[in-house]
Amino acid sequence: MSAVLATVAIDRLTDGIVFALLVPVALALVSFPDPSGGIHAGLSWAAASSFLFFVLLLLALAAYKRGAARAEGRLARLVYRLPPRFAAPVQRLSTSFAEGVVWPGAFWRGAGIVLASVVIKLLAATHLLWAGLAVGVVLRPGQYLFLLVFLGFLVILGHFARIVGSFVIGAVFALGLFGVGEEQALAMVLVVEAASLLSVAGVGAFALWRQGVALADLRTAGVYNAARCG
Domain edge (last residue) among 86, 115, 144: 115
Q: Does residue 66 lie within any of the structural domains?
A: yes
Q: What is the pLDDT of residue 5?
A: 84
Q: Does residue 121 lie within any of the structural domains?
A: no
pLDDT tens readout for residues 71-124: 555 655 666 666 666 666 777 777 777 888 888 888 898 899 899 999 999 998
Spatial CB neighbours of 82, under 8 Å, sequence gap ≥ 6 = 90
pLDDT reading at 227 higher than 60? no
**How many structural domains does the chain have?**
2
50 and 147 assigned to the same domain: no
Q: What is the pTM (predicted TM-score) of this model?
A: 0.76
Q: Does residue 198 lie within any of the structural domains?
A: yes
DSSP one-letter code for 138: -
Phi-psi region of 213 (alpha: psi -120 to 50; beta: other; left: phi over 0): beta
155 and 89 assigned to the same domain: no
Of the pLDDT bands very low, low, confident and very high (cuts 50, 70, 90), residue 230 is low
Domain edge (last residue) among 80, 115, 150: 115
71 and 6 assigned to the same domain: yes
Q: Does residue 106 lie within any of the structural domains?
A: yes
98 and 139 assigned to the same domain: no
Q: What is the pLDDT of residue 189?
A: 92
pLDDT cut 70: percent of the chain above it: 83
User: Helix 141-161 and helix 127-134: axis angle, to 10°?
Assistant: 110
70 and 141 assigned to the same domain: no
Alpha-carbon span 154 to 22, nearest angstrom: 15
Q: Does residue 120 lie within any of the structural domains?
A: no
Of the pLDDT bands very low, low, confident and very high (cuts 50, 70, 90), residue 63 is confident
108 and 191 assigned to the same domain: no
159 and 87 assigned to the same domain: no
111 and 182 assigned to the same domain: no
Domain edge (last residue) among 80, 95, 115: 115
Q: Provide the residue type at 97 as one letter.
A: F
Q: 182-191 in b/e burial notation, b at 16+ Cβ within 10 A? A: eebbbbbbeb
* 182 or 159, which is more confident: 182
For 8-19, what is the mean pLDDT?
89
Domain of residue 75: give its range. Answer: 1-115
Torsion of CA 220, 222, 223, 228, to 10 degrees: 120
149 and 79 assigned to the same domain: no
13 and 40 assigned to the same domain: yes
What Rg do the C-alpha atoms of the chain give, in angstroms? Answer: 22
pLDDT tens readout for residues 121-156: 999 889 999 999 988 999 998 999 999 999 888 888
Contact 49, 57 (CB under 8 A): no
pLDDT reading at 209 higher than 60? yes
Burial class of residue 176 in the structure, from the number of CB atoms within 10 Å of its CB (0-12 exposed, 13-18 middle, 19+ buried): middle
Alpha-carbon span 12 to 82, nearest angstrom: 31
Phi-psi region of 210 (alpha: psi -120 to 50; beta: other; left: phi over 0): alpha
Of the pLDDT bands very low, low, confident and very high (cuts 50, 70, 90), residue 34 is confident
11 and 111 assigned to the same domain: yes
170 and 62 assigned to the same domain: no
